[in-house]
Amino acid sequence: MSFTESNAARAIGRTFVDNPTLMLRAVGVAKTFTLHGQGGVQIDALDGVSLDVQRGECVVLVGPSGAGKSTLLRCLYGNYLASAGTIALRDDGCDAQHVAITGAQAHEVLHLRRSVVGYVSQFLRVIPRVPTLTLVAEPLLSRGVAEPEARERAAALLARLNVPERLWSLAPATFSGGEQQRVNIARGLIAEHPVLLLDEPTASLDAENRDVVADLVIEARERGAAIVGIFHDEDTRAKVATRRLELRPPLRHTAAIH
């Protein structure tokens, strides 16, 4: 067992076995960025955040701009490696019933992203030339759903999100910001992952589409998903949140390393 794994094992222990509704546990997560290209300046983005999320909960992250909300979501998704602390996600496929994403190998992270955790970023990272319907169906195909069913479910979700049918056969590169964001949401929600991380999914949507997204988030919660989300408008927060977690910018000492 490596140093990181043994730390994680100590922090998480039998929790996931003893608590069958626990989906995500973060203990003492810190993140410091070092700007190597800028004199080694260090930025403390997170300072010891702990969080448990159970099935059916939607924890909304609140706090001022720069408080570390997006950084925390990226750490939970394994995009950023936490500088300290442990993050574990339920994975019923293994004996301990969890995998610590903070100590995971690349193939374990990919497995978690396929089967356990979905992430909707604020902006769609456009994959050139792939038609919208295929992009949205793809997470279902990779989980073994047959193609006709995957395409049918993708079409239904795009229609619900008011993405016009004439756009479904086109790649989203030329779409408006709001259209791209709705494609992104469809792609992130379609596979009904048991854990969902949502980073301002409604930021460039009009009121009608914001309501559609809020309804989709509530439906995901009601089917038992554990959700951690950032929502820029109070209206959506009030609709979807079961609980709020306030993040504050750490007391930053910005020091250059010479």
The least CB distance from residue 72 to ligand ATP, in Å, is: 7
The least CB distance from residue 230 to Mg ion, in Å, is: 6
Interaction of residue 26 with ligand ATP, rule CB under 6 A: no
Residue 67 near which of ligand ATP, Mg ion, none (CB within 5-8 Å, type-dependent): ligand ATP
Task: Tell me 92's DSSP state.
Answer: T
- Which strand (E) or helix (H) includes residue 4? helix 3-12
Interaction of residue 70 with Mg ion, rule CB under 5 A: yes
Number of Cβ within a 10 Å radius of residue 79: 15
Residues 28-67 as x/- pattern, contact with Mg ion by CB under 5 A: ----------------------------------------
CA proximity to 116, closest of 146, 83, 147, 139: 139
Interaction of residue 132 with Mg ion, rule CB under 5 A: no
Residue 76 near which of Mg ion, ligand ATP, none (CB within 5-8 Å, type-dependent): none
92-98 contacts at long range (C-beta below 8 A, 24 or more positions apart)? 96/9, 96/12, 96/14, 96/16, 96/17, 97/16, 97/17, 98/12, 98/15, 98/16, 98/25
Residue 141 near which of ligand ATP, Mg ion, none (CB within 5-8 Å, type-dependent): none
Interaction of residue 204 with ligand ATP, rule CB under 6 A: no
The least CB distance from residue 242 to ligand ATP, in Å, is: 21
d(CA 189, CA 133): 14
Interaction of residue 33 with ligand ATP, rule CB under 6 A: yes
Q: Would you mind telling me the total number of residues written for the chain in this entry? A: 258
**C-alpha angle 43/52/107, rounded to 5°?**
70
Residues that bind ligand ATP (CB under 6 A): 33, 43, 45, 63, 65-71
Q: Which residues contact Mg ion (rule: CB under 5 A)?
A: 69-70
